[in-house]
Homo-oligomer: A and B are copies of this chain.
Amino acid sequence: MKKVNIAIISYGRIGRVHMKNLVASPYYNVVMVCDIVKPDDFETEYPEISFVSEYAEVLANPDVDAVLIGTPTSLHPMQIKAAAEAGKHVFCEKPLGSSMKEILKAYEAVRKSGVIMQTGFNRRFDDDFLAIKSRISEIGEPHILKITSRDPGMPPIEYVEKSGGLFMDMTIHDFDMARYMFGEVKSIFVQAAALVEPAITTYGDVDTAIIILTFENGAIGVIDNSRQAVYGYDQRIEVFGSKGMLQNDNHLESNTVLSSKAGVFSEKPQHFFLERYLKSYDTELTYFAKSILDESPVVCTMEDGIMAVKIAQAAQKSYQIGSTVVLSNS
């Protein structure tokens, strides 16, 4: 079987998750890893994989078919652009960037070069969300979309500072999911506050939000977010329409239930995204390989990545001005 020769750009938390999936995948050869500092045990663990510190070296390597970009957000547009110009296929983590102008330059380069580009909204590849997506006609005409998306705990303040804010860092996944389910967003209204950690208002950030979306198809949607659900990662979705409702509930740590004098105790939801969405990180890469190898259509395109950033930016604006922001979907 033909395989995709891939290079991983940035070897942090998410880079290592992808590494594990890529080396076990029948669709990939990991050729290179690029990061500033080489971990001590890298050579022992992956003797056949070369480690470089310069992105240019990756792009110059004719053996590299594709790059997987997991660097800080601000570097994404430039790195996508350079990869496209070097004729490398690109998988890039969300969000695609912090400046729309730069993102659009990268997009132009991708379009010109004709390389395959996939945005890393892994939840699209989760079995439960796929089940709803594939059965969505069962609800008839879509009327209401509800997403509950709450993290298990406040990230460190240094993370918040560089995160781009709740909407760009966390809700962006929900924005993409909303589009995936109900199509294009027409307008957005945000009500948000710093209820968990008031100190983050220093950075203009919030930790609790309720967001109303309207869709081109006429439906209405609501997302509720919190940075801190003490019972674990809360990831629910509900789509409602003229013929009924489809819902996904949380995945619990195990199915075991204890009935005792004190009551009936179930397990908590799986702790966080690495547990809950573990499999989807593998599946999204399989799809990426198939788009490259078999030319099957990309499930989560660069356009999808751009639209999610646009909505996140509109959310930020709505929060600041306190009223509805209409999106221009042109």
Q: Smallest Cβ distance from A27 to chain B, in angstroms?
A: 14
Quick one: CB contact mask for A247-275 with B, threshold 8 Å, 1 for yes? Answer: 11111101111111101111111000000
Closest B residue to A221 by CB, please name it.
B210
- A320 on interface, CB distance cutoff 8 Å: no
CB <8 Å contact, A256 and B246? yes
- A184 on interface, CB distance cutoff 8 Å: no
CB <8 Å contact, B245 and A229? yes
Residue of A138, A148, A260 with highest tally of chain B CB at under 10 A: A260
- A322 on interface, CB distance cutoff 8 Å: yes
How many of chain A's residues have a CB under 8 angstroms from any CB in B?
A: 67
Q: Smallest Cβ distance from A123 to chain B, in angstroms?
A: 14
- A72 on interface, CB distance cutoff 8 Å: no
CB <8 Å contact, B266 and A263? yes
Q: How many copies does the complex hold?
A: 4
Contact of A143 (CB < 8 Å), options: B128, B196, B266: B196
Contact of A146 (CB < 8 Å), options: B127, B224, B263: B224
Closest B residue to A217 by CB, please name it.
B195
Quick one: CB contact mask for A118-129 with B, threshold 8 Å, 1 for yes? Answer: 000000000110
Supply 23 A–B pairs (Cβ within 8 Å), ascending by A.
Answer: A24-B24, A127-B254, A128-B254, A128-B256, A138-B258, A143-B226, A191-B220, A195-B219, A210-B221, A222-B222, A230-B242, A231-B259, A231-B260, A231-B264, A243-B260, A244-B260, A248-B255, A249-B257, A252-B264, A264-B267, A264-B268, A322-B324, A323-B324
Given contacts A131-B254, A144-B208, 19 further A-B contacts (CB under 8 A): A143-B195, A143-B196, A144-B210, A144-B226, A146-B224, A189-B189, A209-B220, A210-B220, A210-B222, A230-B244, A231-B259, A231-B264, A244-B258, A244-B259, A244-B260, A247-B256, A248-B254, A248-B256, A252-B264
